[in-house]
A and B are shown apart, each in its own frame.
Chain A
Amino acid sequence: MQIETNTPIVKQKKTRNWKRWAIHLFPIPALLIFSIFIVYPLVAALSYSFYDWNGITRGAFVGLANFIDLFTLQPFSNMFWNAAKNNVLYFVVQMIVQNGIAFVLAFIIYKRIKGSEFLKVAYFLPRLLSVIVVGFLWKLILNPNFGALNVILGEFGMESLQKAWLGDPKTALMAIILVNCWFGIGFAMLIFLAGLQSIPKELVEAAKLDGANGANVITKIILPLMLPSIMIMTVLTFIQSFEAFELVYAMQGSQGEPYYSTDLLAVFFYRLAFGGSAAGDSTAVGLGSALAVVLFLFIATCTALLLKYMQKKQVEM
């Protein structure tokens, strides 16, 4: 018996060794793609940010001068902090409005209220459109003289509320953020719904048997167990808010019009690096690269911290 089975065992071992060795080869294509399309641009941007740029030609090595300029040289530093402030507002409003509403909607659907399947589709519908289409559509709706919103307000005798929504610096940024919320609610809702559905029913029933009321069930059972999906949505919203670009570009162009009230860091970066959309606008590749590096470091650090915090929370539970 032993002699007979000896040979197969050796063969098996050989195969296993080969397999173990081969496993290290499999990530190569992925790594290759990752390095060409992600690592290389990052390193390139980093290297660009250390040089002086004369138009589109690279000048002398200037060390950290571009970074210092970004934070001190007028009018760039003003634009930088203004854009950063707008990004923070973008994040906060999205967290409260988009994720708040999405959570409520997910809960309604989870409770299987009549017509919830229809609601699920309806809420997710905007997500099917491309951001550019969404921007164009809302630009039409918000048009001060021909747009649906002002016409409807007029029909209901609320002329005093009619506004140049995207032309007034008081309303322009908020209008864009709310459009983004409208666009993002469906996705957030699906994440929350998945979180709700993964909560074991027995836990909720056991709590009810122990005499917990509805509010207690939500705060003591559902919310803590939903923490992973809440944290995921927070991280995603954070990243999305700080790299937001397409919607603003589609609705307001690359100058952050009117009067920089809708300027965001990514829009500011585009303007610096590629010269904006206005004819006769020049480029500042060095400053643009410096901004890209700062933005990357900020997003990466904050995301890492958030994820770490999330892991800790999960372990605690």
Chain B
Amino acid sequence: MPLLKPGVLFAVALAVGASAAAAPHELYVCASVNDNYVIGSTYVTMSGLFRRGGDGQWQHVGFNDVGLMAVSFDPRDHRTFYTATLNGCVRTFDGYDHLRVTTGWDVTEPRDVCVDPNAPDTVYLALPDGVVVTTNKGDTWERREHGLPTRGKYTQTIEVDRTRAGRVLAGCEKGIFLTEDAGKNWRQVLATVDAVLDVQQSPHDPAQWFAVSQSAGAWRSADGGATWAQVGGVPKAKAFYNVSFDATNPQRLVLGGYTYGVLTSEDGGRTWTERNAGLPAGHHVWRVAVDPDDGRIYAAVRSDSIYVSADFGRTWKAAGLPGSQVAEFVFVPAATNSTPARSSR
């Protein structure tokens, strides 16, 4: 297969209707399409950041990046964004025409990145060995880990409270940790034995938070993440990879995971229903997201495709990026000065 050039349009018929063109959000995904790729070899597929065009096709943005985990946009200018990729944190000020790996050799394999919407020069990076923070758009980074455990600070997910600058929750190996001073001090607000894989803030009520974990099911908080309660009806034996709120309906949430596939709730998380009929056998879901414009669910099935459901998981249709593994969905408001909604992290 010839090397695909950045910017080439993937000929994908996305079954989301024409409304996408007029939607107030643009959908970006971090996706790896790297069958048979080995480090050092010549690329035969395109991976990295993709943007869904108005015609429903996926457009590759920037460079070929098989290690892209997450992206976070500056709400003031969406051409400025930060990616968590194998080499560290990559920054662009011009929509990926130019880039810079902002971190040094002492930062590797970041799992997540998050811009503080109330202090957008401040960016948090979740690392396998802790957290680093920049207050100057990535020009410099510093470790901010006081209060995180000496061992056990593997951080999979980091999410800034949109209501207050410097208030951040991190999902780590040992549970959820909270800082209220931009990472200078952390305290544990939930203890777990395996990593917390996703922490999300409700788009409806900022005091409401939801988290999923590798071996302890799902948790919710009604006080801004200060305390947490186990969510009933959600299996615990295997991991859930992420959670997504439906911004169009406060009663709706979606969980996704490799073993359990898609679980939805339409009563605010009191009851849960498997919604895997129509997904490929095994329903190995790597990521889920709910479109904030129309409530459609997106489910990325590992090494398969993105699937979309217009009826909250009851039926599914393929929606492109075959052979992909999606690490994150991000819905970016068409207007600036607004915070992108993230499917996870």
The yes or no verdict on A and B being binding partners is no
Interface residues of A (CB under 8 A from B): none
Interface residues of B (CB under 8 A from A): none
